[in-house]
Amino acid sequence: MNKRRATITAVGHYVPDKVLSNFDLEKMVDTSDEWIRTRTGIVERRILEKGATSDLAVAAFENLRANSGVDPADIEVIIVATVTPDMFFPATGCLVQQRIGAKKAWAFDVSAACSGFLYSIVLGSQFIESGAYRKVLVIGADKMSSIVDYTDRNNCILFGDAGAAVLLEPSEDSEYGLMDHRLYTDGSGGDYLCMLGGGSLNPPTHETVDKKMHYLYQDGKAVFKVAVIGMAEVAAEIMSRNNLRSEDVAWLVPHQANMRIIDATAERMGLDRSKVMINIDKFGNTTAATIPLCLSEWWQCGKLKRGQNIVLASFGAGYTWGAVLMKWSLENPKKP
Ligand code: COA
C-alpha cells in the first residue's frame, strides 16, 4: 500500500506596510547601509507598529483563505510557530483559532525559533500521515521588533516582522508532498541566542528590565560559525539520503538569517543562486515566518511549480536545525 503523505494545498502571507531601511537604522545606531548589506544581505525589513503576533498570523491566514477558499470551520488543527507569542498563555494558536472562526480546531504553539516552521510542518504532517486529521493549518509568525533592542547595533539590524501560513492535507498522489525530513537539536547552543528575562528563571523585575534581559541576546559570531556548517550539512544530508543530484533540486528554501549562510548552503548543495529563494534583502530575518513567506511569495508569482523538488533548510536558537524535502503539488495560482 502506498504511504499516506501530507502536502501543502494552500499558502498565504502578510508583511506590515512600515519599512525600516538600513538608512533609517543609520539614524538610530552607529551603523551603515554598506556594513549591513555586505555582512548580512539585508536592505530593509518590515515593522508591525500596532498589534501583536496573532495579528500577523491572522492576516497571513486571511491571505491563504483568499487564495484557496478554505472554510475555517473545516480546519482541525492549528499550529503556530513563534518565539514572540502575544502572551505566555493562552497560546497564540488559541487566539488565532478564535479570531478566524476555526471552531472545530484544537490549537497550540511550537517554540523552535528559526526552525519553528520546519518543526511544525513535520509535526503537522505526522497527524495527516497517521490518518488522524485531514486539515492542519501551520503558521509561522513573529513580531521580532517586540524583543529587539533598537540601541544594540549588533542585533537590531537583523530582524523584521511577518507572518505566513500553509494548509496541510493528505496528498492525492503519494509521489507528492513531504517526502523526508531531518530535524536536530543541540541544547548546548542555548547560551548564544536567547532571551534571558521574563520567564520562570528570571521573572520580570525592574532589575531584569534595567539589564535589558527582556530583549533577544545573540553572540552573532558564535552562532554564525555553527549555523553556516549546520544548515549546509543538513541540506546536503537530505539530498544524499534521497539520492538527489543538484540538478534534481528546483529550489532551496533557506532560513534567511545571513546571506553568507544561505550562499554556503547553496554551494554545498551545488546550486546556483538562481535556484535559491532569497528575500532577506526585503524582510531581514523574520524567524518562524521566513520559510513559509518564501513559499507563499514564490508560489504567488508563479515561480514555484507542481512537480518541483524543493529543499527547506533552517538553523536557529536552541540550537535547532533541520531540512525537509518536498515535491510541490500545488498548481499555479489562477490568473485573474
Ligand atoms: N554596524 C557596524 N558595525 C557593526 C555592526 C553594525 N550593525 N554590528 C557589529 N559591528 C561591528 C562589531 O562591533 C565588530 O567591530 P570590532 O571588530 O571593532 O569589534 C565588527 O563590526 C565585526 O563584527 P562581527 O560580529 O565579527 O561581524 P560578523 O561578520 O560576524 O557579522 C552578524 C555579524 C550578526 C551579521 C553575523 O555574525 C551573523 O549573521 N550571525 C549569525 C546570525 C544567525 O544565523 N542567527 C541564527 C538564526 S536567528
pLDDT string in tens for the chain (336-residue length): 567 999 999 999 999 999 999 999 999 999 999 999 999 999 999 999 999 999 999 999 999 999 999 999 999 999 999 999 999 999 999 999 999 999 999 999 999 999 999 999 999 999 999 999 999 999 999 999 999 999 999 999 999 999 999 999 999 999 999 999 999 999 999 999 999 999 999 999 999 999 999 999 999 999 999 999 999 999 999 999 999 999 999 999 999 999 999 999 999 999 999 999 999 999 999 999 999 999 999 999 999 999 999 999 999 999 999 999 999 999 988 765
H/E run at residue 239 = helix 220-241
Q: Cell numbers of 279, please? A: 528575500
Measured CA to CA in angstroms, residue 41 lies from 141, 228, 233, 312 at distances of 22, 15, 22, 19
Which CATH number is 6-175's, of 3.30.300.30, 3.40.47.10, 3.30.1280.10, 3.40.50.1980? 3.40.47.10
How many Cα atoms within 13 Å fall on the side-chain side of residue 66? 12
- How distant is the alpha carbon of residue 43 from its chain centre? 19
Looking at ligand 1, which atom is closest to the CA of residue 261? 44
Nearest alpha-carbon partner for 314 in 282, 289, 334: 289
Nearest alpha-carbon partner for 165 in 283, 62, 72: 62
* Whether residue 257 has its Cβ less than 6 Å from ligand 1: yes
Is-contact 117 79, C-beta < 8 A?
A: no
Measured CA to CA in angstroms, residue 66 lies from 62, 70, 93, 292 at distances of 6, 8, 20, 16
CA 181, 314, 219 angle in degrees (round to 5)? Answer: 140
Q: What are phi and psi of 184, to 5 degrees?
A: -135, 155
- Global pTM value: 0.96
Residue 114 annotated in active site: yes
* Whether residue 114 has its Cβ less than 6 Å from ligand 1: yes
What's the topology of domain 178-327? Peroxisomal Thiolase; Chain A, domain 1 (3.40.47)
Distance of alpha carbon 141 from alpha carbon 128, whole angstroms: 22
Q: Among the options 63, 67, 94, 114, which is catalytic?
A: 114
Distance of alpha carbon 174 from alpha carbon 84, whole angstroms: 35
Q: Cell numbers of 143, please? A: 513580531
Distance of alpha carbon 197 from alpha carbon 123, whole angstroms: 29
The DSSP symbol for 157 reads T
Distance of alpha carbon 42 from alpha carbon 258, whole angstroms: 8
Is-contact 122 178, C-beta < 8 A?
A: yes
Q: Could you tell me the residue ranges of all domains in the chain?
A: 6-175, 178-327
Q: What is the pLDDT of residues 242-268, one digit of tens each?
A: 999 999 999 999 999 999 999 999 999
Beta bridge partners, 139, equal 80, 165
Q: What are phi and psi of 113, to 5 degrees?
A: 50, -130
Distance from the CA of 225 to the center of ligand 1, in angstroms? Answer: 12
Distance of alpha carbon 240 from alpha carbon 232, whole angstroms: 12
Q: Among 224, 225, 260, 287, which residue has the most ligand 1 atoms within 8 Å of its CB, making it the best to mutate?
A: 224
Count other C-beta atoms under 10 Å from residue 151's C-beta: 10
Total residue count of the chain as it appears in this document: 336
User: Three-state SS for 326?
Assistant: strand
H/E run at residue 26 = helix 22-26
Do 6-175 and 178-327 come out as alike in CATH topology?
A: yes
Nearest alpha-carbon partner for 288 in 77, 140, 183: 140
* Whether residue 134 has its Cβ less than 6 Å from ligand 1: no
Q: Cell numbers of 57, please? A: 498570523
Asked if the peptide bond before residue 319 counts as cis, ω within 30 degrees of 0, the response is: yes
* Whether residue 289 has its Cβ less than 6 Å from ligand 1: no
pLDDT of residue 332: 87
